[in-house]
Structure 1
Amino acid sequence: MWRSLSRAGLTNIPTLLTRSAASLLSGFLCLLAPHAATAQDAQEFSTQAGTVLVETLATGLRHPWAVEVMPDGGLIVTERPGRLRILRDGELSAPIEGVPDVAARGQGGLLDVALDPQFATNRALYLTHSASDGDGYGTVLVRATLSDDQRRLTDVRELFRMSKFTGGGQHFGSRIAIDKDGSLFFGIGDRGQRDRAQDPRDHAGAILHINPDGSIPASNPYRGGTEGRAEIWSKGHRNPQGITFDQGDGKLLTVEHGARGGDEVNNPQPGKNYGWPVITYGKDYSGAEIGEGTAKDGFEQPLYYWDPSIAPGALAVYRGSMFPEWDGDLLVAALKYQLLARLERDENGAITSEERLFDGEFGRIRDVVVAPDGALLIVTDEDNGAILRVSKAPTQ
């Protein structure tokens, strides 16, 4: 084709077509690349607390999993394929260098990020991710330091590696909650092998607790390591993907996936067993019964459960000034129904009602955090994932 056009004297057409194709390709790549959104990307929604404004802060992220607010107001966000970026002043950074190699398989990859309580001075952060070895895949937690120019991680050190790697690509957990003493709580799912959740010598299906240097806290129930793994705090969890402390009363709260039903909110206590798969409020995906019912001696009951499953991805407790009506309420990100669930609590902390927000509007909601100004920050777990901000809508 090019030869015949050239012979006809149209020698500039290949160049023009090549430039046109390059322009189209460049435009296509720009659409795929992460970028900050414009101020016009905002929508209003009615809620029981009044009208809220949802602004799109950035798009083009590849399955973002977690977001945290940095002391200077920047947002640090993980992408499941293994990238860590910072959104600041409307600009998304290039991927931060030095992130550990991740096994981005199935539900695995780069998962949570948590900032050390002294981050402003020590620049330390924690990451969970799935890793691979010769036996399969499992969950790992690392500590690292963000460089002064915020372009790379240094001093990357593995603090925890789960005891048994296997071939499945599901139920890795794994969010991090930092207690007031600086110790770390995080969850790991049953890795698709449900009986592992009842084995105290297996890290799967558990809430874990370690010190910031990887050592074992004195409060852990199996600290001696004779009756169970020393890092284990509680067992019987199917796949906990939300974990947080209520700054109001200091309680540890988690939310975990059920099967077709039986998602749970729990308050994990040391040495307690939360039932999976012996008791559950859900059925298998086939419709078959699981375990021995919904209650049995020796197993704890959830604070709240969903049937059918909403597929919870994260949990936050609202303690902020922007929405005083929500003070103390739980906020649960949901993947399956693509919503944010607000669980209202009474003065004793009991869950009394549920409000569902943004149902199906933004895709799979993976994370929710409360920003220092009281607004909510949300990430959507999509090929073209976004960071959203939820605030009070301006009054007319």
Structure 2
Amino acid sequence: MNKTLRLSLLSLGLLVTSLSAVAQQLNTEKATLQMDTVATGLEHPWGLAFLPDGRMLVTERNGNLRYVSANGELSKPLTGVPTVLAAGQGGLLDVILHPDFATTRQIYLSYTEPGAENTSSTAVALATLGETGLSDVKVVFSAQPKFASRHHFGSRLVVTPDRKLFVTLGDRGARRHDAQTFDTHHGKVVRLELDGQIPADNPYVKDSAVLDDIWSYGHRNIQGAALHPTTAELWTHEHGPQGGDEINIARATLNYGWPVITYGEEYGGGKIGQTEKDGMEQPLHKWTPSIAPSGMAFYLSDAIPGWQNNLLVGSLRFGQLVRLELDGDKVSHEERIMIGQRIRDVRQGPDGAVYLLTDQANGQLLRLRAAAN
């Protein structure tokens, strides 16, 4: 190799190294961030939970549950995970810790539960976490009816300060009109006791025409949910059809309109419904064109300057992290931060960093933190 070629290749290598380093730094409106790749090799990761010992739990849509160490090492898949139908949008979905995890070692998993004749529905299991697997697995919720569809399962899990469990559910695609009925779980948010029983103060427990666990209805496909840091109300976002993605506060007995009202349209074009109707809630914020939202968290730390109490939402379609500033229950400002990969989950870590899961065959766990001065 001649000297000129060697120098050219060396210069190219230095340039690639330089560009790689620059690409890891993100300039945002409020802070300069460093983006670190914590782990790779995850197969379409979906949900993330932080453990007290510094490790993390990550679900993979194919049915695997893994530990991820602080330095990014992946464990072998844990044993004992319930049978999962991993097809289409279904599979192993969310994971959260039981509020008494420190003493019980219990976790919740949401997943696509197979039924007879190619049917399925969203289910939630409570299990005890061990070093190599799960034990004492108990299904505490199973959406009804099961249906032969591979779309719109939801499903985020949230535990409230008063020790109730919210489960967000999708309309299953072809069953969109079920979101307006009261005899199915399709297109609903349900509220449960931690053991899956029905809370005595649920809004419909005295109405024999409504499933007792229903909290709100008229939803399309909720894949983001988080509790407001002050009000403790459940904030959600849901996918719209070719536009009309929404952020809502899921309040008891309220009807969020799908598919009667929507700001989206049929795939390929065509009107679905109208945009407003008495008795149906307008979204707090909406996106057209659709960003395909997934994952959501309120940022409560001061580790990233200027982000306190902002709402963070992942975008599958545009590969972005969307930062929303709030004025009460209104969105006053939106910033889109380019990550460059489909974002499936968004969580604030114990260290004040923001952790992102990327939805791809070689999925990553990314960490956003304030860059060093």
Fold agreement, TM-score > 0.5: yes
Asked if 1:81 corresponds to 2:62, the answer is yes
Deviation, structure 1 residue 88:
1.3
The match for 1:108 among 76, 90, 104 is: 90
User: Which residue does the alignment assign to 1:316?
Assistant: 297
Secondary structure at the aligned position of 2:24 is classed as strand
User: Which residue does the alignment assign to 1:65?
Assistant: 46
Q: CA RMSD in A?
A: 1.5
Q: Indicate conservation of the 8 Å contact 1:41/1:56, yes or no.
A: no
Counterpart of 1:164 in structure 2: which amino acid?
P
Secondary structure at the aligned position of 2:306 is classed as helix
Asked if 1:383 corresponds to 2:364, the answer is no
Counterpart of 2:357 in structure 1: which amino acid?
V
Deviation, structure 1 residue 200:
1.1
Deviation, structure 1 residue 324:
3.9
Structure 2 gaps of 5+ residues are 1-20
Deviation, structure 1 residue 251:
1.7
Secondary structure at the aligned position of 2:281 is classed as coil
CA distance in 2, matches of 1:368, 1:166: 29
User: Which residue does the alignment assign to 1:144?
Assistant: 127
Asked if 1:352 corresponds to 2:332, the answer is yes
Counterpart of 1:69 in structure 2: which amino acid?
F
User: Which residue does the alignment assign to 1:130?
Assistant: 112
Q: Kindly, what percent of the aligned residue pairs are identical?
A: 45
CA distance in 2, matches of 1:50, 1:111: 32
Secondary structure at the aligned position of 1:386 is classed as strand
Structure number with larger C-alpha Rg: 1
User: Which residue does the alignment assign to 2:345?
Assistant: 367
Asked if 1:189 corresponds to 2:161, the answer is no
User: Which residue does the alignment assign to 1:95?
Assistant: 77
User: Which residue does the alignment assign to 1:302?
Assistant: 283
User: Which residue does the alignment assign to 2:217?
Assistant: 235
Decide whether aligned partners of structure 1 residues 42 and 155 sit closer, same or farther in structure 2, where only a CA change above 3 A counts: farther
- Say which is worse superposed, 229-238 or 130-139, in terms of deviation: 130-139
Q: Indicate conservation of the 8 Å contact 1:116/1:182, yes or no.
A: no
Structure 1 gaps of 5+ residues are 1-39
CA distance in 1, matches of 2:353, 2:22: 17
Asked if 1:271 corresponds to 2:249, the answer is no
Deviation, structure 1 residue 42:
7.6
CA offsets 1:309-336 (integer angstroms, 9 cap, x no match): 1111111111112124111111001101
- Say which is worse superposed, 216-225 or 86-95, in terms of deviation: 216-225
The match for 2:321 among 321, 340, 357 is: 340
Deviation, structure 1 residue 280:
0.6
The match for 2:189 among 191, 207, 211 is: 207
Deviation, structure 1 residue 235:
0.3
Secondary structure at the aligned position of 2:108 is classed as strand
Secondary structure at the aligned position of 1:130 is classed as strand
User: Which residue does the alignment assign to 1:251?
Assistant: 233
Aligned length, in residue pairs: 351
Deviation, structure 1 residue 225:
5.0
Counterpart of 2:314 in structure 1: which amino acid?
A
Counterpart of 1:213 in structure 2: which amino acid?
D
Asked if 1:219 corresponds to 2:201, the answer is yes
Deviation, structure 1 residue 89:
3.6
